[in-house]
Amino acid sequence: MGFALTVKSEGRIIMHKYIFKRLLLLIPVLLGVTFIVFTIMSFTPGDPAQLMLGESAPPDAVEQLRQEMGLDDPFLVQYLRFVGNAVRGDFGRSFSTKRPVFAEIFARFPNTLALAAVGVAIAVAIGIPVGIISATKQYSLMDSISMIAALLGVSMPNFWLGLMLILVFSVGLGWLPFAGFESAKSIILPAITLGTGAAAIITRMTRSSMLEVIRQDFIRTARAKGVAEKKVINKHALKNALIPVITVVGLQFGFLLGGAVLTETVFSWPGVGRLLVEAIRQKDTPTVLASVVFMATTFSFVNLLVDILYAYVDPRIKSQYSK
């Protein structure tokens, strides 16, 4: 027992080191991400100071603001200043509402996160079981149906699916609200809209991963040991098959954050995505910049979480970091 304990705590220290290392690696990635987005947004035509003060502002006031904002400084200086402020949670003020961008985003971020989380949950809850059943009953009717459904799911634009759902469930049947944020029911349609594509991809991935694992020698070993077929699938095959699926789920979360931009627009969902779309319409560069950076950062953190989860599931990866 004592031996097992030391092994366990040793493993924990290894994991802590691994997580710490991955967090450190995140810093250059995030710097890179902000640099790319900052550079892209700097191509936006027009003078930010002018945009902030409005068309009719007197030239000397604009000039003064330019000085204050440091818009005449070299590009790199401006970027470093942006990063310096961003680290302290200061992304500047919105051109349109004049309120701090960070506060605006932070107020809406939980809504986007909730939408994406429910979307992923739906996708996982459908995709993994259907994928497993499809793989274990390859070429059956059930397999054909779910593969066609998955193919349609992958091919459907999610904003269109959202509109079709509204057409059927809100306009037609009147069961669910078509927009806004009034009750818990409000999240159902947007989450389904967002989760369908991911569900389809996870289904396909689970199926092909499972099919691959089922053909492996160790599954034959398990059967040769007399393990019951159900247990062969649920215990031996599933854990191995899920390893690549976890990565896909993480990637899908990123696509969902992107897809949220469209879904939130369809359902008037008060999240960061809709904020972004409105900011683009109003040429509100600081909000656009901050929203994209914010979502990319979230995506990076999700991928980090996925990698850590990965290391927990796959002993081969864990031991890589113990060396």
Partner 1 sequence: MSKSKNKLLNIEDLGIEYVTEDGTVKAVNGIEIKLNEGETLGLVGETGAGKTTTALGIMRLVPNPPGKIVSGKIEFEGSNLLDVSEEEMRMIRGNKISMIFQDPMTSLNPVMTVGQQIAEVIEIHQDLSRQEAAKKSEEMLELVGIPGSRANDYPHQFSGGMKQRVVIAISLACNPQLLIADEPTTALDVTIQAQVLDLMNNLKKEFNTAMILITHDLGVVSEVCDKVAIMYAGEIIESATLEQLFTNPRHPYTVGLFGSIPNLEEETDRLSPVKGLMPDPTDLPSGCKFHPRCPYAKDICAKQDPNSTEIEAQHKVKCLIYEGLIDAEVKR
Partner 2 sequence: MTSTLADKSRTTLKKKNKKRSQWAEVWRRLKKNKMAMLGLAILAVLILGAVFAPWIADYDEVVIKLDLVNRLQGPSAENLLGTDEFGRDILARMIWGARVSLRVGILAVGISILIGGSLGAIAGFYGGKLDTVIMRIMDIFLAIPGILLAIAIVSALGPSLINLMIAIGISSVPSYARIVRASVLSIREQEFIEAARAIGANDTRIILKHIIPNALAPVIVQGTLGVAGAILSTAGLSFIGLGIQPPAPEWGAMLATGRAFLRDAWHVTTFPGLAIMITILALNLVGDGLRDALDPRLKQ
Q: Which stretch binds partner 1 (CB under 8 A): 2-10, 61-69, 161-169, 195-203?
A: 2-10
> Which residue matches tokens 């927990």?
312
Do 41 and 48 meet the contact criterion of CB atoms below 8 Å apart? no
Q: Which of 50, 79, 265, 308 binds partner 2 (CB under 8 A)?
A: 265
Do 17 and 308 meet the contact criterion of CB atoms below 8 Å apart? no
Contact status: 226 vs partner 1 (CB under 8 A): yes
Q: Which stretch binds partner 2 (CB under 8 A): 7-15, 100-108, 163-171, 231-239?
A: 163-171
Contact status: 223 vs partner 1 (CB under 8 A): yes
> Which residue matches tokens 């993994």?
128
Do 268 and 109 meet the contact criterion of CB atoms below 8 Å apart? no
Q: Which does 156 bind (CB under 5 to 8 A by kind): partner 2, partner 1, none?
A: partner 2
Contact status: 271 vs partner 2 (CB under 8 A): no
Q: 73-78 contacts: CB < 8 A, separation 24 or more?
A: 75/42, 78/42
Contact status: 4 vs partner 1 (CB under 8 A): yes
Contact status: 32 vs partner 2 (CB under 8 A): yes
Contact status: 236 vs partner 1 (CB under 8 A): yes
Give the SS3 label for residue 71.
coil
Contact status: 244 vs partner 2 (CB under 8 A): no
Give the SS3 label for residue 93.
strand
Q: Which stretch binds partner 1 (CB under 8 A): 104-112, 124-132, 227-235, 298-306?
A: 227-235
Q: Which is nearer to partner 2, 180 or 315 (CB)?
A: 180
Q: Which of 1, 2, 3, 184 binds partner 1 (CB under 8 A)?
A: 3
Helices (H), 42-171: 48-53, 59-69, 75-87, 101-136, 141-155, 158-165
What residues between 259 and 298 interact with partner 1 by CB under 8 A? none
Q: Which of 227, 251, 277, 304 binds partner 1 (CB under 8 A)?
A: 227
Within 10 angstroms of residue 24's Cβ, the number of other Cβ atoms is 9
Q: 30-39 contacts: CB < 8 A, separation 24 or more?
A: 30/296, 30/297, 30/300, 31/83, 33/293, 33/296, 33/297, 33/300, 34/79, 34/82, 34/83, 34/86, 34/293, 35/79, 37/289, 37/292, 37/293, 37/296, 38/79, 38/82, 38/289, 39/79
Q: Which does 224 bind (CB under 5 to 8 A by kind): partner 1, partner 2, none?
A: partner 1
What residues between 42 and 81 interact with partner 2 by CB under 8 A? 42-45
Within 10 angstroms of residue 53's Cβ, the number of other Cβ atoms is 16
Sites of contact with partner 1 (CB under 8 A): 3-4, 7, 216-218, 220-229, 236, 239-240, 243, 313-316, 319
Sites of contact with partner 2 (CB under 8 A): 28-30, 32-33, 36-37, 40-45, 138, 151-152, 154-157, 159-160, 163-164, 166-167, 171, 208, 211, 254-255, 257-259, 261-262, 265-266, 276-277, 280-281, 288-289, 292, 295-296, 299-300, 303
